[in-house]
Amino acid sequence: MKQNKPEKNINYIDQPITETLEKNFMPYAMSVIVSRAIPEIDGFKPSHRKILYTMYKMKLLKGARTKSANIVGQTMKLNPHGDQAIYATMVRLSRGNEALLLPYVDSKGNFGKITSRDMAFAAPRYTEAKLDEVCEELFKDIDKNTVDFVDNYDGSMQEPTLLPTTFPNILANPNKGIAVGMASNFPSFNLKELCEATIAFIQNPGVDITEIMPAPDFPTGGDLIHNKTDMHKIYDSGMGSFKIRGKIDYIKSENMLEITEIPYTTTVEQIIEKIVELIKAGRIKEINDIRDETDLKGLKIAIDLKRGTDHEKLISKLFKFTTLEDSFSCNMNLLINGRPRVLGIKAILMEWLLFRRNCITRSALFDIARLNEKLHLLYGLQKVLLDIDKAIRIIRETEQEKEVVPNLMLSFGIDEVQANYVADIRLRNLNKEYILNRVSEIEGLEEEIRKLDELSKNEKKIDKVIVKELQTTIKKYALPRKTRLISEHEVVQHVAEAHVEDYNLKVFFTAHNYLKKVTLVSLRSSGDHKIKEEDEILQEIDGTNKDEIIFFTNKCNAYKMRMHEIEDHKVSSLGVYLPNILELEPDEEVLYCVLTNDFKGFMIFGFENGKVARVPLEAYRTKTNRKKLVKAYGDEAKIVRMHYFEEEGDLTMVRESSKEIRAIVFNTSLITEKVTKNTRGIQVFRMKKGSIITALLKSEHHPFDDNEKYRITDIPKSGEELDPYEKLTLNRWIKV
């Protein structure tokens, strides 16, 4: 007979969620911010610094290239995150990947390309690398105690907390990081402009940096649309955005476009896929073929044009509808003494200057200590110079080796370190000439120590050293700017109406969210409408091909499109399915649509709670071509119906309960207009418990014989009860 095992007692302990988050999540968040995702004042994240320092210790600054797999393996002594993560980080630092304006790794082999999403880099066993020459400036005097060192993860070796960069490397390369609750996105600046701006800032902190370093510079080139006011804001705050365009050339002899430079934020595949999508949607009809012809000579996208194409208009279309024109959002968030801070350019230069001054001071103090040690030995040797024969006699006549040093100390008044130095001199060097030559170094060492001591205590002299280092950096590593600057007035914007054929049309909107755009010519020559079973046409709207159409949905959103972006349909077709082209949420549907070209008139929204809101259509006009507007109308109560009015008109509102049906007729002028789109509206129908509004109609559509019976001239009102005949016809006209 089996015995049942006793059930274990499981104790559950209630824990406040805030306490659990603070105990478990906050340390993780801080670790990501401080030790992984946000760069520091030297311009590196820990993963970058570990790779470069490993390569430095492998003597890859001057030596030949070695296999990348070897570098990755050695780096794992400092970085326990795995070989794939280490190699992917190293790839981005390489010259071959072209992700950096100032590459740190001299690479050989396939390292992929930042401009390509699909071009995979080769495995580390096939590629080779060493440190690029510019890394001399990153590691200068690192062995002179210029920066702090800490133990690695297992305490077997030490690594630097920062690299003593001789120029503001934090601004020399693009750097992006996503932490927990914060992010960082640095643009890159031309090295020559950056160093010159830093020199100018050191000499005059009030200098206008934009005069020397007008805008960022990117490794992929392109054209930066330069707005001096916006750039000043970015430089001051460390936050903001600007637009970059690719480079497109028209080859007249072949009737084709060549794209040879693209914005840093996009890829060749993204651009080609978007252009193909536009061609399929019929929004671009001027292209015969598009090809990626990138090769060893560089990036190239070729676009064959149809005969008679206006290439300038097509180029403006490509800039508008693809990522050939893209925005770069700056977020200059970096760690200063372990704390994340968003700083402007001058503040970053100031922090770097403080850091670099400290490095130079520490280097000078290190050299002073080393020279003092040497000087101390020479002072002892100088005393021996007074009687070399005596020193030789002491060493020769001392019976025990261990007593040689004490005897020298006693005879010449020198300490143990000096005595050991004298005792270790080779016999052949125990002559006056050798000792005089060595002692003559004392004066030079004393002068050098004096200069170093003055340097370590004089900020102006330290700044002169920094300026000299920056000038050397310019001379050795400066390259011409890659990203060209163009002013806003030089940019030809795509104006859709200028390229769109204008004609009259009629739009049909159905209950199942199909939209049919039919030209009047096609409408006159067509038969019956084709719609799905159980579907019905809710709206018929007159308009033109240059109008904008606004779709209002049950999620209080509004979606905007231009009519020319929707293809023409035959009456015999179902039309376009709106949830697909508007990318609606799974349970979102369009309730109403409005065509306009001047945004005149207003929208009326009726809600179940008896409130009515009036919003000018102008509130839905946007400067940018935004597709989706959230909070397009109020969400306090369920929407019953919405209507568009070009001018004042009458509305009929119906309130139903289990006992009665009542109605009111009122003019839209009674409703106060609100500029805020999601206004709650004002109470128009007085509500009773258990009653709701079931209809809001334009009054000319209902079959009441006597409008005036239900008319009100002020609000709110309780309305008049419908007679039996009007109740019978209610269901029919509610659908209108």
Active site residues: 126
Please check whether residue 537 is in contact with residue 599, taking contact to mean a CB–CB distance below 8 angstroms.
Answer: no
DSSP letter (8 states) at residue 690: T
Q: How many CB atoms lie within 10 A of CB 12?
A: 5
CA–CA distance, 237 with 90 (Å, rounded to integer): 31
476 three-class SS: helix
| CA nearest to 437, candidates 386, 385, 488 | 385
Tokens describing residue 466:
């920094």
CA–CA distance, 182 with 290 (Å, rounded to integer): 39
CA–CA distance, 558 with 632 (Å, rounded to integer): 6
Long-range contacts of 529-534 (CB under 8 A, 24+ apart): 529/571, 529/572, 530/571, 530/572, 530/573, 530/574, 531/574, 532/574
Q: Distance of CA 683 to CAs 232, 268, 546, 609, 731, Å?
A: 49, 56, 37, 8, 25
Q: Which amino acid is present at 548? A: E
- Compute φ and ψ for 640, nearest 5 degrees: -100, -50
Q: Distance of CA 685 to CAs 588, 602, 607, Å?
A: 28, 21, 10
Residue 139 contacts by C-beta under 8 Å, 6 or more apart in sequence? 56, 61, 163, 164
CA–CA distance, 668 with 645 (Å, rounded to integer): 9
Q: Within a 13 Å sphere around the CA of 664, how many CA atoms are in the beta-carbon half?
A: 23
